[in-house]
Amino acid sequence: MKTQVIVADPGIMGGTPVFRGTRVPVQTLLDYLEAGDSIADFLKGFPTVTHKQVVAVLEQMKEQILVPAHA
């Protein structure tokens, strides 16, 4: 069983999806990438998030987006 890297807990930032073990919203990563910033830039700004967590989130999003329609 994979450990969830995204947590949405009403007791943490009102239920905003965050990186597990942090108070960093996943939306912040998406905002950085959308603005053309690199993952390295994001990690510099949010040192409580690991590169491994970022990759895991992106992989999870990719899996959800690329699920075959018949699945």
Q: What is the pLDDT of residues 5-55, one digit of tens each?
A: 999 999 999 999 999 999 999 999 999 999 999 999 999 999 999 999 999
At residue 69, the pLDDT reads: 64
Asked whether the CA dihedral 21, 61, 1, 13 is positive or negative, the reply is positive
> pTM of this prediction?
0.86
Q: Are the C-beta atoms of 27 and 2 separated by less than 8 Å?
A: no
**Domain 6-65 indexed as CATH 3.40.50.1860:** no
Q: Is the pLDDT of residue 71 over 90?
A: no
Q: Quick one: 36 exposed, middle or buried, by C-beta within 10 A (0-12, 13-18, 19+)? A: exposed
Beta strands in 1-71 (DSSP E): 6-7, 18-19
Q: Region 55-67: what's the mean pLDDT? A: 90
